[in-house]
Every structure is written in C-alpha cells, then in structure tokens.
Amino acid sequence: MAEQSDTLGSIGLNPAHYIQPPPVPIIDDYTTAGDISLLGRLPVTLFPPLGAFAGVARLMERGTNYLDYASTKGASSQTVWDVKYGGSFPVANGAASAAIVSYLSKKHRATLLEKCYHASHAPRSQILNIYEFGRKERATSSFRILQRSMYWQPVLIGFLVGLCGLFAILGAFGTAAIALTCAVSRAFALSIRFERPRGYLQTTEDYDASMLVAAHRNALEWHLFTGDRGVVDTLLNKPMIEVPKGSSRTRATSLWFRVADTTQLIAMTFTAANKGWDGLCLVLLLAAHYVLLWGLGRQSLAGDWLKQNDITVHTRCLEFSGRHPMIGTIQVLTETGNARWMDEILESTPRRATWLAALKLPAEESILFDEHLGQDERTNVSNNRKWTQEAVELAKTLHC
C-alpha cells in the first residue's frame, strides 16, 4: 500500500475537508435595499455581514437602478393585485414589505389563525392574512426624539475606535482592522443623507386601499393590505427613499465601501489563519453582533418604522378550504364591484359570474343559476357561496 501523506489522518482523510470555520453573516442586495428603505439611511452594524459593504457601494454607484432590481428580487419577490382598480404589478419594495409582513405575522398570527371551511370538504388550504393599516395622531415623545437623533452615532464611532485600539494592544490585528473599518464606514454613512420622496406615506385618493399580495397566482398564503392608501401605496407601489445623485461625496463613499469590503475579507482571512487572541476577539465581536441583531434586527426595524410613522395595524388571519371562498371573502369585505382583479387567479367563466352574483344576494335568497350550468357546477356554486358567507361573518368578528 502506498505510504500515506503526512497531511492525512490515520484513516486516510484530510480533516481540513470536514472541519469548517464558524459561519459569518452574509447579506445580499435584496436585504440591503429593505434595510435602507426602512431606516432611511445607510445601515452599518457592529459586525457588517460579508457583502454588506459591496451592496452599499453598488447602491451609491447605480442609484435608483439598484433599487429597481434589488427590491424585486430575492426569496420573497411577490405580485400585487389591486382589488379596487384591477390589474397586477410587482411589489416595489419587496424586502421592506416582507419585513413588515414577517413582523406582523410573528406578533399576531399565533393567536388569530381561524379555520373557516366545512369539515367534510377536503381542503386545499389557503391562508389569508389581512392587514388593516391606519394612522394615529402624532405624539412626539422624548424617547422618539432620542431614537431618531443621530448624536449617538459619533459616540458609537468613538467606541469602535477605542475597541480597535484594545484589540491592537492584545495583538488581535485582524479584528482591530475589522473594528476600524466599521468605524470609518459609519462615518461615511453619516455623511450621506437619504431623503424620503415627495408624497411619502401620502395619497390624493379619498378611499382606502385594497391590495392582495402573494408569491404567485397559485400561492397557498396570501396577504391583503387594506386601510390607509398612503401607507399601502408607499409599501407596495412607490419608492421609499431617494438615492443621492452622483456628487463627489457620493463617489468617495462608493469608493470607500469598495475598499472596506476588500479590507473586511482580508482581515477575516488573516484572523482565521492567525488564530490565538485574534480568533478569540473575532468570536467575541461576532457574538456581540448577534446579540445586537437579536434585539435590534430586521424585525425591530419593521416595528420601529411603524412606530416612528405613527402607523397602526389591525391583523386578521383566516384559513380557507379553497380559493373560491377566499377570493369571495376579499370581494365582499372590500366592497368592490370590480371583478377584473381576480382574472389571473380565477378564470372568468359563467360559473364564476353566477357565484359572484349570488354573493350579493341575502343568505336566504335562492341563487339564479345560468341555464348552461350542470348539476355539479350548481352544487359547487352553492357550496362556495355558503362557505364564503360563513367566512365573511367570521372575518368581521376578528379584530386585533
């Protein structure tokens, strides 16, 4: 047998292939776009995820073109069906609206999920989350003033510089470079101001919004955004920030974040190879990052955005046996006479027309069937009408 290499173990395997370094956070453009839209400024955390600096550099270089692509890509790319007007379009702020939905779902869904289908009916389960957005009178508090203030940012920058010095004294030069890079990046981020666009959270329409959101037309989970049209339009159909134009400051910021991205990668590689105190300090810095992320992460960003803009949300969650009762419930609850919005979801047929007409009748009144409908289709229309009316009554009793 050939002699084993010194780098191999007693069983002839290289342990380096199986021992992986601790995972570090990685970020994509989709998440970056969402965080900036909610914060209204450049996000720089204690331990920026790999790719975060490069994402900011791309934003500063490409401007609105970056947001157009980044906000509609990723795992949560979704479609909007406008129940009031009809028609469909991609969600304009995919990551930001997904963060809001995730925050509201985790906060309310466990106590609000209600089943509204007949037990004998074999279900193709459809879940509908209903969010009713509203605005409350602004009441500026000292906490909000402190929360919005940028005065604590220089303090944090000073703390990171001090931390860099401490790491350098301990010989943890890789971790010190990461802390210094983060401090300088925060300083550059402070120099760039993002403005909210004209008409932000406002509308000229005098009626509430009703927009249905899902991953695609065959989805199993749906989200109905209702209420204040300014809020719903801003989340789903309008830009939430204006990217600064190509000034010298913008170009300098873009160049620095390119340098910071490379520096961070080199520093982390150096630290992984150096081990010792450097590795320990990096682990401690990463642990502090995760603790802060747990307390002030994307869930908190969504909640803070709602509080800072005095937005209230009432949430309801219903589970249906099929698509017809769910679509019918939306049609009745939104009180819209327009049925064009559902054409991509439910094909326009005589059976659908009969069912929609039946929903406008009192529960005790008989359905006027189209003469071309067979007995099975008539039974289907009757059942869907019954289940829809039951679901509507249940939905009206739920309030959070």
Instruction: Decide if pLDDT at 62 tops 50.
Output: yes
The mean-pLDDT minimum among 111-120, 195-204, 289-298, 317-326 falls in 111-120
Q: What are the two backbone dihedrals, phi and then psi, of residue 115, each rounded to the nearest 5 degrees?
A: -90, 135
Residue 245 has a pLDDT of 76
Q: In terms of residue numbers, what domain contains 143?
A: 23-397
Q: Which one has a higher pLDDT value, 153 or 296? A: 153
Residue 116 has a pLDDT of 55
Residue 19 has a pLDDT of 35
For residue 247, being part of any structural domain is answered with: yes
- Which whole number is the average pLDDT over 187-208? 86
Residue 138 has a pLDDT of 66
Residue 321 has a pLDDT of 81
For residue 18, being part of any structural domain is answered with: no
For residue 1, being part of any structural domain is answered with: no
For residue 14, being part of any structural domain is answered with: no
Give the span between the Cα atoms of 64 and 74, in whole angstroms.
17
Beta bridge partners of 179: none
Instruction: Decide if pLDDT at 307 tops 90.
Output: no
Instruction: Single out the residue of 62, 34, 32 nearest to residue 44, CA to CA.
Output: 32
For residue 293, being part of any structural domain is answered with: yes
Instruction: Decide if pLDDT at 26 tops 60.
Output: no
Confidence of residue 316 (pLDDT cuts 50, 70, 90): confident
- Number of compact structural domains in the chain: 1
Averaged pLDDT score across all residues of the chain: 80
Give the span between the Cα atoms of 97 and 88, in whole angstroms.
16
Give the span between the Cα atoms of 297 and 99, in whole angstroms.
10
For residue 392, what are its two tokens?
């509507």
For residue 362, being part of any structural domain is answered with: yes
For residue 38, being part of any structural domain is answered with: yes
Instruction: Single out the residue of 251, 281, 82 nearest to residue 179, CA to CA.
Output: 281
Q: Going by DSSP bridges, is the β-strand pair 311-320/113-115 parallel, antiparallel, or unpaired?
A: parallel
Give the span between the Cα atoms of 341 and 354, in whole angstroms.
17
- Which whole number is the average pLDDT over 161-188? 91
For residue 50, being part of any structural domain is answered with: yes
Instruction: Decide if pLDDT at 248 tops 50.
Output: yes
